[in-house]
Amino acid sequence: MGLAKKFFSNAAKPSGFLGKVMIAGMNIFHAKVAHWGMSRMNIPEPLEIAELGCGGGKNIRDLLMKYPHSHVTGVDYSPLSLEKARAYNKDMIASGRCEVVEGDVSALKFEDGKFDLATAFETIYFWPGLVKCFAEVRRVLKAGGYFVIVSESDGRDKPSLWFESVIDEMKTYTADDIESALASAGFSEIHTEHHPSHSWLVITAKK
């Protein structure tokens, strides 16, 4: 495996030294699309939020800032990501405003109807089957809860298609793909917004 392929493959589940470099980069290079996506979230303040595929943990902190009365549970299946996210949010963890736990989005270890909001920033490319995983997200949402997906790729942009060719675990999706999977998983009121000058998407769905 070439060095570039080995490095970028860490985007799926960061590990080792290259994984540490990848996680540090996630908090920096995904910041603009995450900021835009969060600015499009016009949702009444949720009390319980699940940040799925939380990576380096920056979006956990940004959600806590956006919703100052909320509690955020960050979820990731990479031990390195969990370590970074906990360090990044150690003050918020100490204050009881958030926790970071290991988990697999295809089999979430939460009771039904726990969360008011679930978010997925730059992560669904690596989920093992959208309908199955979306159904799991819907299960852990309260009735009337929201699921927000933020993606840098619209499934057609050349950079993301190149990454897909390099990273074995990666699959890009069009807005239609995501909307169809959400509907099949039982979500309603599905709304997609496409950035006017980038390939970025924010998709909101309601349970």
Closest to 112 in 3D by CA, of 139, 72, 94, 131: 139
- pLDDT for position 41: 94
d(CA 153, CA 198): 9
Predicted confidence at residue 85, as pLDDT, reads: 94
167-206 pLDDT, tens digit each: 777 889 999 999 999 999 999 999 999 999 999 999 999 9
What pLDDT does 25 receive?
Answer: 52
Residue 115 has what pLDDT? 98
**Rounded Cα distance, 79 and 207, in Å:** 30
Domains of the chain: 3-101+109-206 (3.40.50.150)
pLDDT in tens, 135-166: 999 999 999 999 999 999 898 888 777 767 67
Tens-place pLDDT, residues 62-84: 999 999 999 999 999 888 889 99
What's the CA gap between 85 and 91, in Å, rounded?
11
Rounded CA-CA distance 66/69 in Å is 9
Note the pTM of the prediction, 2 decimals. 0.87
**What are phi and psi for residue 49, nearest 5 degrees?**
-125, 140
pLDDT in tens, 9-65: 444 454 443 444 445 555 556 789 999 999 999 898 999 999 999 999 999 999 999
